[in-house]
Structure 1
Amino acid sequence: MDLGVTISTDPALALYALTFVLGGALLGTLSGLTPGLHANNFALLLAGAAPLVPGPPLLVGAAMLSAGVVHTFLDVVPALALGVPDAEMAVAALPGHRLVLEGRGYEALRLSAMGSALAVVFAVPLAVPMTFLMIKAWPTLAANMPLVLGTVVAIMLLTENSLSGFAGGVLAFGISALLGMATLDLDPAAPLYGDVLAPLFAGLFGAPILIDAMGGSGIPEQTDKTITIPRRAVLLPAAAGALAGAVVGYLPGVSSAIAAVLALLALPGSSGDRGFVIATSGVNTANTIFALFALVALGAPRTGVLVAVERAEVPLNLPVLLSAVAIAAAIGFVLVLVVGDWYLRVIGTVDYAKLCVVVLTLLVVLSYAFAGAIGIVVFLVSALVGFIPVRFGANRVHLMGVLIGPIALWYY
């Protein structure tokens, strides 16, 4: 059975392939809407389950990519609905949370969906020249990776607009880097999969937001769904996010949030919170496309989903895999608008303090599932570290030292 480019000319085969893509989209929907389930951890579950799935490896890979893409569209939904602080804490809140506090949550969902969808449109034609450029530049980048990553960190610190923020950024980066060095090489016994990324990320980026939000009044009433910024103000952050997705796709340790900040720095004027939501979503989704090309060209998987694809020994047939990405992106766009609005409405009707406790409990359970008893300890320590930037008025992106520090040391 040939599952190459002929897949688009054989209706029966195309329908068979579409079944795998839709199955992946369903899994991505469930994972994207589950608070605390990071895409990388979800991808590890996919890699473990792949051998059990009946079907050609190429289509299993298409299902994995479909799940990963839909996850990048939908993970904004619980991110916006959970961890919303009191209005008095709006300045310290994440950009998406500030929009929810203003009653613009529906608009934030639409901006995120547009950022992700436009990033796919921009990233596909950019991927070929960017990959060619990276093939040429990679030996130099790899030889100087500590300097490259150090430059990224320095730029991020310089974006802080106060001495307190700068000091908090340095402290957050340093301690999170030490945390990463102490934990990333652990191989704990666990019920699901021995991996410490789940408790690390849940503690650093999830628990502090939820704990701060427990004293809040929850989600205020959301107003209309109108996008209140000009079309140009949507296109530019989306394009910048797509281009920055190449940085995430090729450079290890650089997160979507870091790339979004760097992208917005390059734009004329200020796009504000809305631009950040668009750019971050764009980076997150475009990253999948660039990482796929990086795997084909360099043999280096840069995302958890692509690690899963490599482990499952999926044939790297770009036409089929990119088709799966495109279909999944269309599905993800629709789901954000339909499921996202419903999610915000439902969350707005529940007791917010109790909800935060439930989600925190879920994070503890996920930490144990992925890393056993050690995972719970890592989660608790990471949660303490996660409070550092917000208490100093610094950006949370400095906590990505948990990956950047160990990676820079490894290349050194």
Structure 2
Amino acid sequence: MLAPLFTGLFGAPVLLDAMDGAGVPPQADARVTLKRRTLGSTAFAGAAAGAIVGYLPGVSAAIASVLALPAVPGDDDARGFLVATSGANTANTVFALFALVALGTPRTGVMVALDGLDGSPSLPLSLSVVAVAATAGFALVLLVGDRYLRAVGRTDYRLLSVSVLGLLVVVSWLFAGAVGVAVFAVSTLVGLVPPRLGTRRVHLMGVLVGPLALGL
């Protein structure tokens, strides 16, 4: 049920709202405009929050990004949020791996898949894979990032959104049948509420945090 639930809460509403938009906006100069001190403090805040939630069940890197928001300066909130989110995601991946090895309990979906493999994961090997993947991602952003955005910007964004929505319905059906499609539809309606109330979608994680906190 998690697939239709989370794609409905966090995926479909974004696609529906994006249909009325103009797609990917033109990108500005690729140079970093944040001050070095601001960049460092924001990245550190995101990484620290990601490290903390890496050990907590049901708490995602998105929540870590919200925890890091007080460190984001008001005059650079959009860029600062991206930096904080990047730090939180990276740290969450690493420390969720530490939690799996130390506690034997997976904290993220990736760790659940890793825990299902035969044999216990090797920490040095796993950290090496994380480092290689992070380096490859960094290099790919620099090499093909701008060309990728230009290619996506030329596509029919409405058609792309409708196609992805159709794919999400199929995935919900494959995972949970007709009930999954119904859950996907209801959770999509719920996911449309936060932007209209001026709140963040991260609060929808209560659908998982609440039952975990209550031991359900």
- Structure with larger Rg: 1
User: 1:219 is matched by which residue type in structure 2?
Assistant: V
**Structure 1 partner of 2:111:** 306
In the alignment, what sits opposite 1:218? 23
* Range 331-340 or range 318-327, more displaced: 331-340
- Of 200, 206, 213, which aligns to 1:401? 206
**Distance in 2 of aligned mates of 1:399 and 1:318:** 32
Counterpart contact for 2:38–2:73, Cα < 8 Å: no
| Cα distance, 1:268–1:229 mapped onto 2, change above 3 Å | closer
The answer for the alignment partner of 1:190 in structure 2 is none
Q: 1:247·1:254 contact (CA, 8 Å) conserved in 2?
A: no
Helix, strand or coil: the match of 2:30? Answer: coil
Given that residues 72 and 80 in structure 2 are in contact (C-alpha distance below 8 angstroms), is that contact kept between their aligned partners in structure 1?
A: no
Q: Does 1:353 align with 2:158?
A: yes
What are the ranges of 5 or more consecutive residues in structure 2 without an aligned counterpart? Answer: none
Alignment of 1:380 onto 2:199: no
Taking structure 1 as the reference length, what is the TM-score of the superposition? 0.49
Give the whole-Å Cα distance in 1 for the aligned partners of 2:15 and 2:176.
21
Where do 4+ consecutive residues of structure 1 move more than 4 Å?
A: none
Query: How far did 1:220 drift?
Result: 3.0
Q: Which residue of 2 aligns with 1:204?
A: 9
**TM-score normalised by the chain length of structure 2:** 0.91
Provide the C-alpha distance between the structure 2 equivalents of 1:264 and 1:219, rounded to a whole number of angstroms. Answer: 24
CA–CA distance in structure 2, aligned partners of residues 295 and 400 of structure 1: 21
Partner residue, 1:330:
135
Q: Read off the aligned partner of 1:318 and give its amino acid letter.
A: L
8 Å Cα contact 1:258/1:397 also seen in 2:
yes
Q: Deviations over 1:303-327 (max 9, x none)?
A: 1121222211333322222111111
Inter-CA distance 352–301: structure 2 relative to 1 (3 Å threshold):
same
Following superposition, the deviation at residue 341 of structure 1 comes to 2.2
When residues 335 and 210 of structure 1 are mapped into structure 2, their CA distance, relative to the original with a 3 A threshold, is: same
* Post-superposition offset of 1:256: 1.4
Q: Secondary structure at the match of 1:223?
A: coil
Q: Paired residue for 2:69? A: 264
Q: 2:72, 2:81 within 8 Å by CA — same for their partners in 1?
A: no
SS at match of 2:68: helix
The 8 Å contact of residues 4 and 183 in structure 2, kept in 1 or not, is answered as yes
Answer whether contact 1:198 1:370 (CA < 8 A) is retained.
Answer: yes
The share of aligned pairs that are identical, in percent, is 61
Q: 1:254 to 1:354 in 2, by over 3 A?
A: same
* Residue of structure 2 in register with 1:103 after alignment: none
CA offset digits 1:207-250 (Å, max 9, x no partner) = 11111121222223323212211122222121111111122211
Query: C-alpha displacement at 1:272, in angstroms?
Result: 0.7
Conservation of the 8 A alpha-carbon contact between 2:60 and 2:108: no
Matched, 1:391 2:157: no
State the Cα distance separating 1:348 from its structure 2 match: 0.9
| Distance change in 2, residues 1:359/1:208 (3 Å) | same
Report the CA distance shift for 1:369/1:282 in structure 2 as closer, same or farther (over 3 A): farther
Alignment of 1:88-99 (within 5 A): none
* Residue 321 (structure 1) aligns with: 126
What is the SS of the residue equivalent to 1:250? coil
Q: 2 CA distance for matches of 1:269 and 1:215?
A: 30
The equivalent position to 2:49 in structure 1, one of 244, 250, 256, is 244
- Could you say which residue in structure 2 is the equivalent of 1:340? 145
Q: Tell me: CA distance 1:215–1:344, structure 2 relative to 1, closer, same or farther (3 Å).
A: same
Q: Which residue of 2 aligns with 1:371?
A: 176
**Which consecutive unaligned segments of at least 5 residues does structure 1 have?**
1-195
Cα distance change, pair 288–221 in 1 and its aligned pair in 2 (3 A): closer
Q: How far apart, in 1, do the equivalents of 2:178 and 2:72 lie? A: 49
Shift of 1:302: 0.6
Correspondence 1:287-302 to 2 at 5 A: 287-302=92-107
Q: CA shift at 1:268, angstroms?
A: 7.4
How many equivalent residue pairs?
Answer: 215
Distance 1:314 1:240 in 2: 35
